């Protein structure tokens, strides 16, 4: 176990521990969260997958521990949202030089939706899209090519365009227990001892 390495599997250069390849301080990733990309270099995640994420907005991408992010998943930030309060969606403030506008008003070109927050133990499927301002709860699953436009509750599976709930992964009692246990916050050695219990669904052993 070494959450500080880049490649967690020997001779597998398509999968990285995301925390160790991201440089932008406004992208915060927890230990053991992994990203797989069989099309592009997974080390370029913040350039290829975190889109329209400009420092002027001061918004953040926060991803918890033990998440699994599939190839091509995208996180679309505020600057992708052309303003709808204007009579036109054309982003005049971006072209402030062309139209002799004040550069300090550049953020008027879009509607600020805020941070994207992904919980712990979340699985984001192939080419899923997460929009700005969205919070995804612990243990959720985002289906392949889903477009997430609303918050996703913990341990809920969503899919489609726009993404809608398909079902809960467990009963309410088990979900409540898992959210109290928070196994992802345990010391690594304790997690290691209980991997078989986690995988076998023996929540009473946790």
CA distance 97 to 151: 37
Name every residue whose Cβ is closer than 8 Å to that of residue 49 and which is 6 or more positions away in sequence: 35, 72, 73, 74, 75
Q: Is 194 a catalytic residue?
A: no
Catalytic residue among 40, 60, 74, 82: 82
Nearest in space to 201 (alpha carbons), one of 125, 139, 124, 136: 139
Q: Which of 54, 43, 52, 49 is nearest to 15 (CA)?
A: 43
**Displacement of CA 64 from its chain's centroid (Å):** 8
Active site residues: 82
């Amino acid at each position: 176990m070494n959450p500080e390495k880049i490649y967690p599997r020997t001779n597998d250069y398509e999968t990285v521990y995301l925390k160790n390849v991201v440089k932008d301080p406004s992208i915060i990733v927890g230990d053991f969260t992994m990203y797989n990309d069989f099309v592009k270099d997974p080390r370029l995640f913040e350039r290829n997958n975190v889109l329209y994420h400009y420092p002027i907005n001061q918004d953040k991408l926060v991803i918890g521990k033990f998440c699994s992010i599939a190839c091509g998943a995208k996180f679309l930030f505020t600057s992708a949202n052309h303003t709808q309060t204007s009579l036109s969606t054309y982003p005049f403030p971006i072209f402030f030089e062309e139209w002799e506008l004040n550069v300090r008003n550049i953020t008027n070109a879009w509607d600020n939706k805020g941070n994207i927050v992904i919980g712990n133990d979340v699985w984001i499927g192939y080419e899923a899209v997460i929009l700005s301002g969205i919070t995804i709860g612990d243990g959720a699953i985002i289906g392949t090519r889903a477009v997430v436009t609303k918050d996703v509750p913990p341990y809920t599976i969503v899919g489609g365009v726009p993404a809608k709930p398909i079902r809960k992964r467990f009963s309410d009692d088990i979900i409540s227990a898992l959210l109290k246990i928070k196994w992802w916050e345990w010391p690594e050695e304790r997690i290691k001892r209980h991997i078989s219990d986690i995988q076998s669904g023996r929540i009473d052993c946790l």
